Amino acid sequence: MSFWRTKLEAELRPYGKLAVAFSGGCDSTLLAEAARRVLGGGNVLLLLADSVLLPRREAEQARTLAAAAGLRLETVPLDPLADEAVRANGPLRCYYCKKRIFTALGERARSLGFAVLADGANFDDRGDYRPGAKAADELGVAHPLRELPKQAIRDLAREWKLPVWNLPAAACLASRIPAGTPLDREALATVEAGENAVAARGYTGFRVRRIGPETARLEFRADDLERAEAERGSLETLLAPLGFETVEIALYRTGSMNRASGA
């Protein structure tokens, strides 16, 4: 890993000070730790965009990780649903949402003396459909991990004993709603409650998709699919109080609801 570590250190050193758009996922956590090692903790600021689209468990995980690293974390409250372009949930939803997020984070960073805002975009992201990346580029967000493959990021995170080194990829709650279906707080809250309930059963790396007002599609990793099928009845009972009368079980596919979501 010395090649990728050296490359990342060389990428970070010229910044001097760096604000990181922090979600608590593998990419942004690795970036935060690398910046701490290279620039010193006092020269690193973590910014968490907190909104109805961010699951509460992920927000708490981000705060826990920042505290463990001894890094300053600023929470920036946002209301993406105030933007009609986000609320409409069209194919460019992610672009408009990320533009709102990165604008707010950049303003907070500059107000605190940090001229550069960076995100955790990596080399593998180039092959995905990510309108949000266009918004980041338009706003001058730096991408220190842009040359690192995802596996190199995971390997380096593991070397540094970061607890998120093998954490499954996450996506905002809007990615659980079909493209073109307007977003509302009730639907997002229902999806989050459903995922919390399924996670409590020990499942990881899954999605609860709200494909209709009373229909949920549970998508599981291949190694959990057989167990989920065997537990279909109990999963249906688990989600019934949330208004889901029909529960489908399927294999997890990235972006199955919305190619713009990266979900």
Catalytic residues, by residue number, are 172
Report the C-alpha gap between 50 and 59 in whole angstroms. 7
Helices 26-39, 2-12: inter-axial angle, 10-degree rounding? 70
What is the per-residue DSSP string for 80-102? GGGSHHHHTT-TTHHHHHHHHHH
Please state the φ and ψ torsions of residue 85, each to the nearest 5 degrees. Answer: -65, -30
Query: Is 26:154 a contact under the CB 8 Å cutoff?
Result: yes
Which residues, 6 or more positions from 133, have their beta carbon under 8 angstroms from its beta carbon?
98, 121, 125
Residue 133 contacts residue 102 (beta carbons within 8 Å): no
Q: Are 34 and 152 in contact (CB under 8 A)?
A: no
For the record, the structure tokens of 70 come out as 């001894």
139 within 8 A of 51, measured Cβ to Cβ: no
Contact 85, 92 (CB under 8 A): yes
